[in-house]
């Protein structure tokens, strides 16, 4: 966005959208990291805060949606401006989903409170969430700079998270087979892991959207996947 519009109000509206997106991103990131922390530390209060923060995120998403619609109605954006606004809409909905996933994770904190989370699994989860949060943080930075190359690089990195998730999945299965009493906790943790893995996917989505916003082209090729958890059941049987 090197050049400015003759109509300064148009620029203001676009800037407003991107500022709100950045704010949403920051909040979503915070929520996710808080949720994982609450899960690991069995911190119900923190979990409650994450749950209530989601309302703000939902509200922000709707506001961005309204603003984008009004901007489209009033400015009839074309080319880069149009991609910018449509991209904002998509990113906002991705971020809102990220918030939902964080909230869902936080809700499970109460369910697993009784048993607590085994140390080993907690570390695995933390590691997975670190990877996903780095992904999310990087993609938000890329959003600020609108760099197509960096967006492409982030998109490829999703593989790591998938691999990490697959190994965590395997671990949880092992726990459940060891002792059926673990099943409740492990199922919740499995969902949490899945949530975190999904956050990584949304970050990748955002990277693709940024790539599209910047270049006007869809990223080439399938995104690299290393999530083989869907075949794990077959192997163990």
Partner 1 sequence: MNMMSESAVEKALDQKMSDASHKMIGKDVSVYYGEKRALFDVNLNVRENTVTALIGPSGCGKSTFLRCLNRMNDTIENCRVTGKITLDTDDIYDQNIDVVELRARVGMVFQKPNPFPKTIYENISYGPRIHGLSKSKADMDQIVEASLQRAGLWTEVKDRLHESGTGLSGGQQQRLCIARAIAVSPEVILMDEPCSALDPIATAKVEELIHELRANYTIVIVTHSMQQAARVSQRTAMFHLGQLVEENDTDKMFTNPDDQRTQDYIMGRFG
CB-count burial class (<10 Å; 0-12, 13-18, 19+) for 102: buried
Q: Which residues, 6 or more positions from 85, have their beta carbon under 8 angstroms from its beta carbon?
A: 14, 17, 68, 71, 72, 77
Q: Which of 55, 69, 144, 153 binds partner 1 (CB under 8 A)?
A: 69
CB of 14 to partner 1, least distance (A): 14
CB of 54 to partner 1, least distance (A): 13
Applying CB under 8 A, does 70 fall inside the site for partner 1? Answer: yes
In terms of CB distance, is 76 or 231 closer to partner 1?
76
* Alpha-carbon gap, residue 206 to 155, rounded angstroms: 9
Applying CB under 8 A, does 9 fall inside the site for partner 1? Answer: yes
DSSP per residue over 69-87, as a string?
A: HHHHHHH---HHHHHHHHH
| DSSP 8-state symbol, 180 | G
Applying CB under 8 A, does 58 fall inside the site for partner 1? Answer: no
CB of 7 to partner 1, least distance (A): 5
Residues at the site binding partner 1, with contacts judged by CB under 8 A = 5-10, 20, 23, 27, 56, 60, 63, 69-70, 73-76
């Amino acid at each position: 966005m090197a050049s400015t519009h003759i109509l300064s109000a148009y620029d203001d509206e676009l800037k407003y959208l991107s500022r709100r997106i950045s704010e949403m991103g920051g909040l979503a990131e915070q929520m996710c990291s808080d949720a994982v922390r609450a899960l690991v530390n069995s911190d119900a209060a923190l979990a409650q805060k994450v749950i209530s923060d989601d309302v703000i995120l939902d509200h922000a998403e709707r506001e961005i949606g309204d603003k984008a619609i009004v901007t489209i109605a009033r400015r009839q954006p074309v080319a880069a401006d149009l991609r910018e606004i449509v991209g904002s809409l998509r990113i906002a909905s991705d971020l809102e989903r990220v918030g939902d996933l964080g909230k869902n994770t936080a809700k499970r904190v109460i369910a697993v409170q009784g048993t607590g989370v085994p140390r080993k699994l907690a570390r695995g989860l933390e590691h997975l969430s670190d990877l996903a949060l780095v992904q999310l943080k990087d993609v938000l930075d890329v959003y600020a700079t609108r760099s197509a190359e960096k967006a492409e690089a982030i998109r490829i990195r999703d593989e790591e998270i998938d691999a990490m998730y697959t190994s965590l999945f395997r671990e949880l299965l092992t726990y459940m087979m060891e002792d059926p009493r673990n099943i409740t906790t492990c199922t919740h943790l499995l969902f949490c892991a899945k949530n975190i893995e999904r956050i990584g996917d949304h970050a990748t989505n955002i990277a693709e959207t940024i790539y599209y916003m910047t270049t006007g082209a869809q990223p080439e090729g399938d995104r690299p996947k290393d999530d083989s958890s869907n075949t794990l059941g077959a192997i163990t049987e």
